[in-house]
């Protein structure tokens, strides 16, 4: 799969760990955002990743900041993006099954790297539920307007 990752300074170290793991597993990986632990504004990285997921250039996005919250707030402004902040394996599984999430957001200051890897593995390997109620609800999300890649500031 092709997976795009982004982070701010708070998520930089964990993003590198997750990217290395994905490369080891044979995925194509692209990284955006902070290049070290100097201050970096998380909306800029979220924009880069959300645009690429919206355009279908990646199968999934992964965004890492201190809490995973600012990244999700930003990414979810983009049409077709369903970004979920996940803190446990169950949250990751349900975000995929029920919400058909296509971007995983992780809080590097809230969970340790081992759990983050487990969450990522579950997120990437869980298929979306095809049950009618979930498909209907996700369709309602998708029908709401959102920012188009062509209008994006990044």
Which residues are tagged catalytic? 65, 98
The Cα diameter of the chain in Å comes to: 46
Cβ atoms of 27 and 58 closer than 8 Å: no
33 binds ligand RB5 (CB under 6 A): no
Residue 97: closest CA among 63, 61, 137, 55: 137
Of residues 32, 49, 67, 78, which one binds ligand RB5 by CB under 6 A? 67
Applying CB under 6 A, the span of 14-22, 62-70, 79-87, 127-135 interacting with ligand RB5 comes to: 62-70
Alpha-carbon distance of 49 to 66, in angstroms, equals 17
- Joined together, the tokens standing for residue 89 give 């394996």
Which C-beta is closer to ligand RB5: that of 95 or that of 100? 95
Could you identify the residue written with the tokens 């979810």? 76
102 binds ligand RB5 (CB under 6 A): no
Alpha-carbon distance of 118 to 99, in angstroms, equals 19
Which C-beta is closer to ligand RB5: that of 42 or that of 78? 42
Of residues 4, 8, 45, 123, which one binds ligand RB5 by CB under 6 A? 8
By CB under 6 A, name the binding residues for ligand RB5. 8, 10, 42, 65-67, 69-70
């Amino acid at each position: 799969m092709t997976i795009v990752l982004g982070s701010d300074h708070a998520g930089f170290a964990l993003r590198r760990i997750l990217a290395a793991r994905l490369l080891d597993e044979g995925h194509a990986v692209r990284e955006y955002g902070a290049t070290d632990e100097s201050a970096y504004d998380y909306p800029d990285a979220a924009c880069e990743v959300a645009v690429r997921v919206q355009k279908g250039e990646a199968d999934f996005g992964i965004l890492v900041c201190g809490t995973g919250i600012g990244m999700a707030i930003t990414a979810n402004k983009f049409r077709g993006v369903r970004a979920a902040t996940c803190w446990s394996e169950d949250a990751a599984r349900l975000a995929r099954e029920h919400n058909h999430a296509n971007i995983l957001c992780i809080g590097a200051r809230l969970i340790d790297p081992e759990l983050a890897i487990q969450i990522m593995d579950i997120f990437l390997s869980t298929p979306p539920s095809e049950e009618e109620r979930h498909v209907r609800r996700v369709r309602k999300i998708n029908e709401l307007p959102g920012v188009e890649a062509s209008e994006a500031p990044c």
